[in-house]
Amino acid sequence: MSKTAKMIIDKDFRISQIDERIYGSFIEHLGRAVYDGLYQPGNALSDEDGFRRDVMDLVKELHVPIIRYPGGNFVSNFYWEDSVGPVRDRPRRLELAWRSLEKNEVGLNEFAKWTQKVNSEMMMAVNLGTRGIADACNLLEYCNHPGGTKYSDMRISHGVKDPHKVKVWCLGNEMDGPWQLGHKTMEEYGRLAEETAKAMKLIDPSIELVSCGSSALDMPTFPKWEATTLECTYDHVDYVSMHQYYGNRDNDSLDFLACSNDMDEFIRTVVASCDYVKAKKRGRKNINISFDEWNVWFHSNAADDDITENHPWQVAPPMLEDIYTFEDALLVGLMLITLLKHADRVKIACLAQLVNVIAPIMTEAEGGGAWKQTIFYPFMHASAYGRGVALQPLVSTPRHDTSKHEDVTDVESVAVYNEEKEELTIFAVNRTLTDDIVLTTDLRGMEGYQILEHIVLEHSDLKAVNCVGEQRIVPQNTNRSAMDGGVMTSMLNKASWNVIRLKKA
C-alpha cells in the first residue's frame, strides 16, 4: 500500500537566488586525484598537455563552476614555489598529510590551465599550517598581480603573462583538527587568519576570503570555534567554511538516509554563530557559508590506513577510492537538497572530491577508461537543473524514527525556479525503504506550467554499484507524474531520487 504526501509550491515562496558556486568541487594532491586522474601523459586519451580528455568531458557534464585546490590537508605543508617554473627543476617533497611523495609535475599553473579547459575557476587555499602571512601574500601576488613585482614577474617568466585572477581564497584548512599540520587553537588561528586576511586584501581588495570553520559537527570545539575565530576575522572575511562526511558504518540504511538532518542542524548552528558575532560586533554584513567539503566517505578507510602506516612515500597511491553504492547516491541527493534549502547563506559548496578520491568520476590506471559512480547522477541533475531561485515547498509528509534520529520526513524536497527559462524543477527523495509515496503537489501558484519529464534514480539493491563497463545505476525517464488543473500527482517509489521538470506552456 502506498503512503500519501502533499506539497505546495509557489514562485513567491523564495529562499534565495542560488549562487552557481554551490555546485563546486575539490581536487587535492592526494592519491590518484591528480596523477592518473586528471593528468596521465602517455595515455591515448590524454591531450597535448597530458590531461585526460575523457575525464574533462565528464567534468564538463557536471557543470562545475569552481574547484578548490590544492587541499585539503595537503595544503598545510604546501610550498607553492616548488609547483611552478620548469618541471625539470621542481623538487620532489615528502607530503606529510598523506605520507606520499609529491613530484610537483602538476602545479599551480598546470592546474589553472586545466580548470580553463573544463570551464571552471580555481578556489585557492593558502598554507597557514607550516607557513603564514608572507607566503600567502607572495602566492596571491604571483597569481593575481599583473606585473612589475618580484612574484608577478616570476609568473610571467614561467610563461603565464596574464594573472590568474583567483577570486576566492581559503585561509588554511581544518585548522581546528589535531590531525592538521600546524594545528592551532581557536585563538591562535583567529589572530593569524585576521592578519593574513588584512594583508591579502591590501594586495587585492577584490578577493573573497574563507575563514576556517569546524571540520565536522561533532568536533569538541564546535561551535565555540566559529564564535571565537570570527570575532577576529569578521571584518575581513566573507565566508566561514564547513566540512562534513557521512558513512553507513553500522550498515543501518534507514538511519544513514537521515544523516542529512544532521547536516541541516549543522548549517543552522553555524549560521546562528555567524549572526551572534555580527550582533556582538554591531556589524552590518552577513558571514555566509562555504561548505567546501561534503560527501559520503567511509568505504576505503582501512585500506588508506594501511598505505599511510605501512607503505608510505609512494607517488599517487590508490587512496580514498570509495566505490559508491546506490544508497550513497540517495544521501548525496539529500545533502544537495539540504544545501539548496539554505541557499540564502550557503553560497559556495564543494563536493569532495572530483576524480578518483571519494569522487563521482573514476579512472582506471595504466591507460584504462573513465566511468561514472552512482553519486555522479544526483550531482549532475542538481547542477544542470538547479540554477535560479530556490523555492521553499510546503510539505506535509509522513514521518518515521530511526535508530539515532526521530521524526524523520519520508519525503525531502526542494524546488528551483528559473525565471529566465520559465522552468521549474522539483528535487525529491523518498527515503523510506519499504513504502512508495503518492505525492500531490499544488502548483496553482505556477499557472501554465506543464510537465517536461520525471527522471528517477532507483535500484532494488541499496548496495549496488557502478563500475567500468557496467553502469547498473543510471537515471530513467518515467511517466510517474501527471497534471490536472494545476495539481500534479507523482509516484515516488521507495528509496528513490526524483527530478521533476516543468515548463510554462
Candidates 121, 141, 293, 412; catalytic one: 293
Model confidence band, residue 42 (pLDDT cutoffs 50, 70, 90): confident
Report pLDDT for 1.
Answer: 62
User: Could you say which DSSP state residue 238 is in?
Assistant: S
Q: At what angle do helices 326-341 and 376-385 cross, to 10 degrees?
A: 30
- Taking the C-alpha atoms of residue 460 and residue 497, their distance in angstroms, rounded to an integer, is 13
Average pLDDT score, the chain: 96
Q: Is the pLDDT of residue 461 over 80?
A: yes
pLDDT tens-digit readout, 157-212:
999 999 999 999 999 999 999 999 999 999 999 999 999 999 999 999 999 999 99
pLDDT, tens digit, 9 for 90 and up, residues 360-400: 999 987 778 899 999 999 999 999 999 999 999 999 999 99
pLDDT of residue 75: 98
Task: List 126's β-bridge partners, or say none.
Answer: 171
Positive/negative CA dihedral, 88, 89, 90, 94: positive
**pLDDT reading at 60 higher than 70:** yes
Domains of the chain with bracketed CATH: 3-11+390-504 (2.60.40.1180), 19-385 (3.20.20.80)
Residue 88: pLDDT over 70: yes
* pLDDT at site 15: 97
Which residues does residue 492 pair with via DSSP β-bridges, in sequence order?
A: 437
Per-residue pLDDT at 134: 98
Q: How many CB atoms lie within 10 A of CB 272?
A: 12
Q: Which of 92-101, 365-374, 426-435, 494-503 has the lowest mean pLDDT?
A: 365-374
How far is it, in rounded angstroms, from Cα 220 to Cα 218? 6
Asked if residue 353 has pLDDT above 80, the reply is: yes
Hey, what's the cell of 336?
Answer: 544537495
Tell me the average pLDDT across 114-123.
98
Contact 307, 23 (CB under 8 A): no
Closest listed residue to residue 98, CA positions, set 70, 124, 133, 121:
70
Report residue 302's pLDDT band, with 50, 70 and 90 as the boundaries. Answer: confident
Is-contact 129 77, C-beta < 8 A?
A: yes
Which of 174, 194, 321, 458 is the catalytic position?
Answer: 174
pLDDT of residue 505: 85
Single pTM value for the model: 0.96
Question: What's the sign of the alpha-carbon dihedral 312, 318, 324, 328?
Answer: positive
Q: Is 174 noted as a catalytic residue in this protein?
A: yes
Nearest to 428, CA basis, from 377, 478, 401, 393: 393
Checking if the pLDDT of 83 tops 70, the result is: yes
